[in-house]
C-alpha cells in the first residue's frame, strides 16, 4: 500500500465520514427515561399441565456440573421435556451473560449470582416471577436479592450465610464453655484465646480489601444498619450504625487481636487447625474445608455460633438465584422447572447432592439437615440474615467501601471520614437504576 499513500488517508476519511453520518442518523442521545418499564409489571401466571420441549439452562461452577443429574428427575416427571444444562466457569460467567443479553441469545433459564440481579433486570432481560411461586416460602433476606425496584425476578435457589467459627477445645481453655452472645463477649473471648489458649491472634478478620464488607456488614446489620435511604432509592453508608460497627471491627486490629498484616492469600484453614488463629467468620463451605485440614476427629473440636448481638443478631445472606429470561420461547416450561427447583423435596435432594443449603425454609425441617447442630445454627441465622441492595452499581460502590475499610483496619484511619468518602463515591456513582 506504500505505493498509494493517498489511498489509506482517503479511506480513513471515507470511513470516518460514514461513521459520523451513521452516528448522526441513528440519533445519538439517550431516550427520555420511561420511569422504569417494569415498574409494577404484573406477570402472567404459569400455564397448567406438564412441561414440554427443550429448555437450555446455564449454571456455574460445581452447580453446573451437578445440575444435570438433578434435572433427570424433572425430565422423568415431565416426559415431554428435555433440559440441557451448560456449565460455565464462574470467572467467565458474568461477561457471558452480559454479551448473551446484548445479543439477545440468552438461555431459557439460568443460575445467576445474586449481585447481578440489578444489572440484568436493568437491561430488561429477566421475566418477573409469576404468581404460582410462593415468595413467602423463602428466607426473607434471600428473597430480597431477587427483588429489583419492587419487582421479583426468579427465585433464590440456594443460600449461604456467615457465622463465627471457633475452636471448642481452645475456648474451654480460655474459660468459655458457652459461646458469647454479644459484641463485648465476642471480643473478650477472642482476647482470652490469645492470653490463655496460646493463640497468636484471637480471631481472623479480613483487614479490608475485596469482599471484606461481607465480614463487616454483619456487625452493622446486627446494629440496625440500613444500606438504603430515601425509600430504597439511594445508598446510605454514612450512618451512626455502620460507624459504630466499623469502629468495633477496627478495635480488633488496634488492640492486636486480629492480624492487620494478614497475607494476601489467607491461611485460614491451617491456622484454625493449628490453633494459631482459633476463630474466624465465614460461610458453610468452610466446615468441610477445615475438617479436611484438621483431619480425623477435628469435627468435634470446633463449632459455629451466631453473629453476636448488638441490637439483634444478623448476618450476610449470599447464594445464587435462578431466573427465567424474557427472551425464552418456552416460558411456561421454564417456570415449571423453577417451580420444581423451589420444592422442599427437590431442595433437600439438591443439598444432598451438592451441599448447597436450601433457600426454602420448610426444607430445613427435613432430618437430613436438621440433625446437624452446626447446620441448624446456619439455618437459624438465615432467618435474620440480610442482603445488600440490588442496585446495578453495587459491585463498584462496595469496592470503595472495601478500600476505605482497608485504611481503617490497616492504617487506623478515621471511621467517620472513611464512611463519608464511601458515601460521596456512592452518590457520584449512583444506584445505576
Partner 1 sequence: MTTTTPVAADSRAGRSKRPSRRGRQEGIAAWVLALPFCALFLIFTLWPVLQSLFMSVTDTKSKDLRTPFSVDIVGLDNYTRALSDPVFRKAMFNTAYFVLIGMPLTLGLALAAALALDKGIRRFRAVFRLGFYLPVITSIVAVAVVWRFLLQHESGLINTVLGWVGIDGPNWLGDPNWSMPGLIMMASWRNFGTPMIIFLAGLQSVPAMLHEAAKIDGASALQRFRHVTIPMLRPTILFVSVTTSIGYIQFFEEPLIMTNGGPLNSTISISMYTYKQFGFGNYGFAASMSYLIFVIIAVVTAIQFRLLRENT
Residue 380 or 407 having the CB closest to partner 1: 407
Residue from 21, 54, 210, 352 touching partner 1 (CB under 8 A): that is: 210
Piece in contact with partner 1 (CB under 8 A), picked from 176-184, 204-212, 343-351, 378-386 = 204-212
Piece in contact with partner 1 (CB under 8 A), picked from 18-26, 226-234, 281-289, 301-309 = 18-26
Q: Determine if 254 is a binding residue for partner 1 (CB under 8 A).
A: no
Dist CA 376 CA 250 (whole Å): 30
Dist CA 141 CA 357 (whole Å): 14
Residue from 35, 40, 263, 295 touching partner 1 (CB under 8 A): that is: 263
Residue 328 sits at φ, ψ, to 5 deg, of -60, 145
Q: Determine if 371 is a binding residue for partner 1 (CB under 8 A).
A: no
Q: Determine if 367 is a binding residue for partner 1 (CB under 8 A).
A: no
CA torsion sign for 286, 289, 291, 293 is negative
Q: Could you identify the residue written with the cell 492504617?
A: 411
Residue 212 or 239 having the CB closest to partner 1: 212
Which DSSP string do the residues of 347-414 spell out, in sequence order?
HHHHHHHH-PEESBGGGGGSHHHHT-HHHHHHHHHHTT-B-----TTHHHHHHHHHHHHHHHHHS---
Q: How far is the CB of 205 from partner 1 (least distance, A)?
A: 15
Dist CA 305 CA 282 (whole Å): 11
What residues numbered 55-84 form the site for partner 1, per CB under 8 A?
none
Residues ≥6 apart with Cβ < 8 Å to 214: 162, 316, 318
Q: Determine if 34 is a binding residue for partner 1 (CB under 8 A).
A: no
Q: How far is the CB of 104 from partner 1 (least distance, A)?
A: 8
Dist CA 174 CA 179 (whole Å): 11
Closest CA to 224 of 141, 311, 347: 311
Piece in contact with partner 1 (CB under 8 A), picked from 39-47, 258-266, 314-322, 376-384 = 258-266
Q: How far is the CB of 99 from partner 1 (least distance, A)?
A: 8
Helix, strand, or coil (residue 262): coil
Q: Determine if 392 is a binding residue for partner 1 (CB under 8 A).
A: yes
- The contact set with partner 1 (CB under 8 A) reads 3-6, 15-16, 19, 22-23, 26-31, 94, 98-99, 101-102, 104, 119, 122-123, 207-210, 261-265, 392-393, 395-396, 399, 403, 406-407, 410-411, 432
Amino acid at each position: 500500500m506504500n505505493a498509494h499513500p493517498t489511498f489509506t488517508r482517503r479511506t480513513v476519511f471515507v470511513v470516518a465520514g460514514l461513521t459520523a453520518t451513521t452516528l448522526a442518523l441513528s440519533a445519538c442521545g439517550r431516550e427520555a427515561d420511561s420511569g422504569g418499564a417494569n415498574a409494577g409489571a404484573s406477570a402472567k401466571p404459569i400455564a397448567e399441565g406438564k412441561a414440554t420441549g427443550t429448555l437450555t439452562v446455564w449454571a456455574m461452577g460445581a452447580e453446573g456440573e451437578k445440575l444435570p443429574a438433578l434435572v433427570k428427575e424433572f425430565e422423568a416427571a415431565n416426559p415431554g421435556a428435555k433440559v440441557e444444562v451448560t456449565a460455565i466457569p464462574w470467572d467467565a460467567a458474568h461477561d457471558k451473560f452480559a454479551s448473551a443479553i446484548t445479543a439477545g441469545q440468552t438461555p431459557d433459564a439460568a443460575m445467576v449470582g445474586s449481585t447481578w440481579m440489578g444489572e440484568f433486570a436493568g437491561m430488561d432481560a429477566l421475566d418477573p416471577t409469576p404468581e404460582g411461586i410462593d415468595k413467602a416460602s423463602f428466607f426473607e433476606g434471600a428473597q430480597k436479592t431477587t427483588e429489583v425496584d419492587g419487582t421479583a425476578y426468579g427465585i433464590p435457589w440456594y443460600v449461604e450465610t456467615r457465622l463465627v467459627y471457633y475452636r471448642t477445645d481452645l475456648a474451654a481453655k480460655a474459660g468459655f464453655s458457652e459461646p458469647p452472645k454479644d459484641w463485648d463477649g465476642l471480643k473478650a473471648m477472642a482476647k482470652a484465646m490469645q492470653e490463655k489458649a496460646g493463640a497468636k491472634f484471637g480471631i481472623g478478620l479480613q483487614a479490608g480489601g475485596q469482599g471484606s464488607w461481607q465480614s463487616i456488614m454483619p456487625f452493622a446489620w446486627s446494629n440496625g444498619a440500613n444500606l438504603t435511604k430515601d425509600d430504597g432509592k439511594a445508598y446510605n453508608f454514612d450512618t451512626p450504625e455502620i460507624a459504630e460497627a466499623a469502629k468495633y471491627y477496627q478495635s480488633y486490629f488496634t488492640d492486636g487481636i486480629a492480624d492487620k498484616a494478614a497475607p494476601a492469600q489467607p491461611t485460614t484453614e491451617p491456622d484454625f487447625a493449628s490453633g494459631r488463629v482459633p476463630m474466624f467468620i465465614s460461610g458453610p463451605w468452610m466446615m468441610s474445608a477445615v475438617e479436611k485440614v484438621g483431619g480425623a476427629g477435628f469435627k468435634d473440636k470446633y463449632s459455629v455460633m451466631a453473629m453476636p448481638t448488638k441490637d439483634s443478631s444478623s448476618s450476610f445472606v449470599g447464594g445464587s438465584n435462578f431466573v427465567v429470561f424474557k427472551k425464552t420461547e418456552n416460558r411456561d416450561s421454564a417456570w415449571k422447572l423453577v417451580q420444581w427447583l423451589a420444592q422442599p423435596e427437590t431442595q433437600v435432594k439438591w443439598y444432598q447432592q451438592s451441599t448447597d443449603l436450601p433457600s426454602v425454609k420448610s426444607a430445613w425441617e427435613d432430618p437430613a439437615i436438621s440433625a446437624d447442630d452446626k447446620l441448624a445454627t446456619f439455618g437459624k441465622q438465615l432467618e435474620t440474615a440480610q442482603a445488600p441492595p440490588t442496585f446495578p452499581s453495587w459491585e463498584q460502590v462496595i469496592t470503595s467501601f472495601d478500600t476505605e475499610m482497608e485504611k481503617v483496619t490497616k492504617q487506623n484511619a478515621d471511621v467517620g471520614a472513611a464512611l463519608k468518602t464511601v458515601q460521596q463515591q456512592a452518590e457520584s456513582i449512583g444506584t445505576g437504576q
